């Protein structure tokens, strides 16, 4: 059934539903008409019996007239012993004495007629006017049977015809309803890598198919954006890898071009080592981002002192900060929190590196602080300086997005904040960036598995360059 086209399945489902509806409607109409015809016939039999009974009460059986209308069906007047007083339509008595003794009130019953004749529907009316007698009137219900037979013939012929017309209508309507889907399918098949901007045609009607088309177009937009981002990342990664590789190749070629003294060889090897370290860091950063995007970026939580973690990170960057005349202030509560200390330290190093690079060369200030509230730890880093550019701020956490200083000097690959975001998300949190008066602020929120264990006091450390 899965391989049957949708249009055929819709038509078959419609046909089955309509067939059930027609069958139920036919049964209802037939049963209703039959009940109405029987009720009308029973009413006529009751009226006939009551007229005869009233005549018996006035003149008795001997003086009762027998009009011609009695000949249209069964009419008998019986004594309690089963003797026939008057009979029209049947020679012998219709009921025995035993059957008559069981009758206490008027009732309808079926009475066998002559062999080969239909069963009669009879109405028996006991009467006690003058003497106990039973008035029996009946009818073969021929007109009822003929009417019901005509109705059956009509339903048996008109029902299949109506079902066929309904199936044809369902086939046409299903085709019309699915035509926009077929157009979208053909357009989707025509979309290729060479034409990624093509989109599916969306019907003007505001129905489910139109919503499906808009949803699929939105999906195509997101896929194209993702493809464009991946292409940019690939281009930027290639560019970033090419620069140190070119420098490394040039150093090696220059060293091998002629004999060198030991001092020159050492300088060349040191330069090559620095470029190799740069390549290793870049490869490690790309691996982290790749695992983060693929959902394979795992962290190993352990109880870590938040104060020691921030203090060590700040201490590792003070020498570089002093060279640029930048002061670092660090403040964090002395609390144990469950985080991955290696990954959080990596994110802190990237934040401090960016803050030192973009801060002013003299008189700059970097504030690193942390707070813990419930099951969330928040790390904030503020630095003085120009802050994020208007074009850079919305894309600050994308890979290979760099500030103007990095673009001109090539001093950074633009992966620092992207890794900060990856670390924050791996901890169930997020990272945000914003401009504040006199500088910029980056906030990293980390979700904790359990409540932190408080220790004593709040520690702060600061260092300043001369």
Q: Is 122 inside any structural domain?
A: yes
Distances (CA, A) of 438 to 60, 202, 337, 364: 125, 49, 32, 10
Q: How far apart are CA 466 and CA 457, in angstroms?
A: 30
Same domain, 370 and 224: no
pLDDT for the residue numbered 407: 41
Task: Residue 231: give the domain boundaries.
Answer: 208-293
pLDDT for the residue numbered 460: 38
Confidence of residue 452 (pLDDT cuts 50, 70, 90): very low
pLDDT for the residue numbered 296: 63
Q: What is the pLDDT of residues 34-67, one digit of tens each?
A: 999 999 989 989 998 888 888 776 655 554 555 5
Please give the sequence-ordered ranges of beta strands (E in DSSP) within 374-452, or none if there are none. Answer: 376-384, 430-436, 439-447
Same domain, 285 and 324: no
Q: Is 164 inside any structural domain?
A: no
CATH of the domain at 79: 3.30.450
The residue among 91, 119, 145 that closes a domain is 145
Residue 149 has pLDDT above 60, yes or no: yes
This prediction's pTM: 0.50
- 8 A C-beta contact, residue 377 and residue 448: yes
The residue among 119, 145, 171 that closes a domain is 145
303's tokens: 């109880």
pLDDT for the residue numbered 261: 77
pLDDT for the residue numbered 415: 77
Q: What is the pLDDT of residues 66-124, one digit of tens each?
A: 554 444 578 888 888 888 888 776 767 778 888 888 888 899 988 876 665 677 888 99
DSSP, collapsed to helix, strand or coil, labels residue 82 as coil
Of residues 13 and 282, the one with the higher pLDDT is: 13
Mean pLDDT of the chain: 79
How many Cβ atoms sit within 10 Å of the Cβ of residue 456? Answer: 8
Got the DSSP string for 4-61? S-HHHHHHHHHHHHHHHHHHHHHHHHHHHHHHHHHHHHHHHHHHHHHHHHHHHHHHTT
Give CA torsion, residues 239, 243, 245, 246, to 10 deg: 120
Q: Which of 436, 393, 448 is nearest to 417 (CA)?
A: 393
- The 8-class DSSP code of residue 92 comes to S
Q: Which residues pair with 430 in a beta bridge?
A: 445
Same domain, 224 and 278: yes
pLDDT for the residue numbered 240: 61
Give CA torsion, residues 49, 52, 54, 60, to 10 deg: -140
pLDDT for the residue numbered 24: 93
Q: Is 165 inside any structural domain?
A: no
Q: Is 347 inside any structural domain?
A: yes
pLDDT for the residue numbered 239: 59
Same domain, 139 and 217: no
Same domain, 367 and 318: yes
Q: Which of 19, 30, 26, 25 is nearest to 164 (CA)?
A: 19
Residue 151 has pLDDT above 70, yes or no: yes
pLDDT for the residue numbered 309: 92
pLDDT for the residue numbered 454: 42
Counted domains in the chain: 3
CATH of the domain at 273: 1.10.287.130
DSSP, collapsed to helix, strand or coil, labels residue 110 as strand
Give a three-class secondary structure readout of 325-389.
CEEEEEEEEEEEEEECHHHHHHHHHHHHHHHHHHCCCCCEEEEEEEEEECCEEEEEEEEECCCCC
Which H or E run contains 122? strand 120-127
Q: How far apart are CA 333 and CA 38, in angstroms?
A: 95
Same domain, 17 and 99: yes
Which pairs from 228-231 meet CB under 8 Å and 24+ separation? 229/398
pLDDT for the residue numbered 410: 41
Please report where in the chains the tokens 């504030």 appear, as a residue: 367
Same domain, 138 and 34: yes
* Cβ-count burial 67-105 (b if 16+ within 10 Å, e if not): eeebeebbbbbbbeebeebbbbbbeebbbeeebbeebee
CATH of the domain at 356: 3.30.565.10
Residue 461 has pLDDT above 50, yes or no: no
- The 8-class DSSP code of residue 169 comes to H
Residues near 92 by beta carbon (within 8 Å), at least 6 away in sequence? 84
Strands 74-78 and 133-139: antiparallel
- 8 A C-beta contact, residue 424 and residue 274: no
Same domain, 13 and 114: yes
Of residues 147 and 232, the one with the higher pLDDT is: 147
Q: Is 189 inside any structural domain?
A: no
Phi, psi dihedrals of residue 408, rounded to the nearest 5° = -85, -35
Lowest-confidence region among 88-102, 163-177, 271-285, 376-390: 271-285
CA angle 146, 149, 155 (to 5 degrees): 145
pLDDT for the residue numbered 218: 85
Same domain, 306 and 373: yes
Q: Is 174 inside any structural domain?
A: no
Same domain, 311 and 363: yes
The residue among 266, 293, 320 that closes a domain is 293
Distances (CA, A) of 159 to 8, 73, 237: 21, 35, 72
Q: Is 39 inside any structural domain?
A: yes
448's tokens: 């904790």
Got the DSSP string for 307-323? HHHHHHHHHHHHHHHHH
Residue 464 has pLDDT above 80, yes or no: no
Confidence of residue 253 (pLDDT cuts 50, 70, 90): confident
Of residues 32 and 10, the one with the higher pLDDT is: 32
Please report where in the chains the tokens 């003007």 appear, as a residue: 204
Same domain, 272 and 125: no
Residue 127 has pLDDT above 70, yes or no: yes
Q: How far apart are CA 357 and CA 417, in angstroms?
A: 13
Average pLDDT over residues 254-272: 77
Average pLDDT over residues 118-138: 83
Average pLDDT over residues 326-330: 90
Task: Let me know if 359 is exposed, middle or buried by CB neighbors in 10 A (0-12, 13-18, 19+).
Answer: buried
Same domain, 342 and 423: yes
Q: Is 105 inside any structural domain?
A: yes
């Amino acid at each position: 059934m899965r391989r049957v086209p949708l249009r055929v399945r819709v038509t078959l489902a419609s046909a089955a539903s309509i067939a059930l509806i027609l069958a139920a409607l036919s049964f209802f109409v037939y049963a209703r008409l039959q009940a109405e015809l029987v009720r009308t016939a029973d009413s006529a039999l009751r009226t006939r019996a009551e007229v005869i009974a009233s005549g018996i009460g006035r003149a008795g059986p001997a003086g009762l007239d027998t009009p011609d209308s009695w000949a249209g069906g069964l009419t008998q007047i019986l004594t309690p012993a089963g003797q026939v007083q008057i009979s029209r339509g049947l020679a012998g008595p219709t009921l025995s004495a035993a059957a008559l003794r069981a009758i206490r009130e008027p009732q309808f019953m079926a009475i066998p007629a002559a062999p080969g004749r239909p069963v009669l529907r009879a109405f028996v009316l006991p009467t006690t006017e003058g003497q106990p007698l039973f008035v029996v009137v009946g009818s073969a219900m021929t007109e009822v049977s003929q009417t019901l037979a005509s109705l059956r013939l009509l339903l048996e012929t008109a029902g299949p015809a109506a079902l066929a017309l309904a199936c044809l209508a369902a086939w046409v309507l299903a085709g019309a309803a699915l035509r926009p889907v077929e157009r979208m399918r053909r357009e989707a098949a025509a979309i290729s890598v060479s034409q990624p901007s093509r989109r599916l045609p969306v019907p003007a009607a505001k129905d489910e198919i139109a919503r499906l088309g808009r949803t699929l177009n939105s999906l195509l937009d997101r896929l194209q954006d993702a493809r464009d981002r991946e292409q940019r990342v690939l281009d930027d990664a290639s560019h970033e890898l090419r620069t140190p590789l070119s420098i490394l190749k040039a150093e090696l070629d220059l060293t091998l071009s002629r004999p060198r003294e030991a001092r020159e060889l050492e300088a060349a090897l040191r330069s090559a080592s620095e470029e190799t370290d740069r390549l290793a860091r870049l490869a490690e950063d790309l691996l982290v981002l790749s695992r983060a995007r693929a959902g394979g970026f795992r962290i190993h939580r352990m109880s870590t002192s938040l104060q020691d973690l921030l203090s060590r990170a700040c201490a590792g960057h003070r020498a570089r900060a002093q060279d640029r005349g930048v002061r670092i202030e660090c403040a964090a509560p002395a609390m144990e929190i469950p985080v991955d200390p290696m990954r959080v330290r990596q994110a802190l190093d990237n934040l401090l590196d960016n803050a030192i690079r973009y801060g002013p060369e003299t008189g700059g200030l970097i504030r690193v602080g942390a707070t813990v509230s419930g099951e969330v730890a928040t790390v904030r880093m503020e630095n003085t300086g120009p802050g994020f550019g208007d074009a850079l701020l919305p894309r600050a956490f994308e890979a290979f997005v760099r500030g103007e200083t990095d673009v001109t000097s090539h001093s950074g690959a633009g992966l620092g904040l992207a890794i900060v975001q990856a670390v924050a998300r791996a901890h169930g949190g997020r990272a945000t960036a914003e401009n504040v008066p006199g500088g910029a602020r980056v906030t990293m929120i980390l979700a904790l598995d359990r409540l932190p264990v408080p220790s004593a006091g709040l520690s702060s450390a600061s260092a300043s360059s001369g």
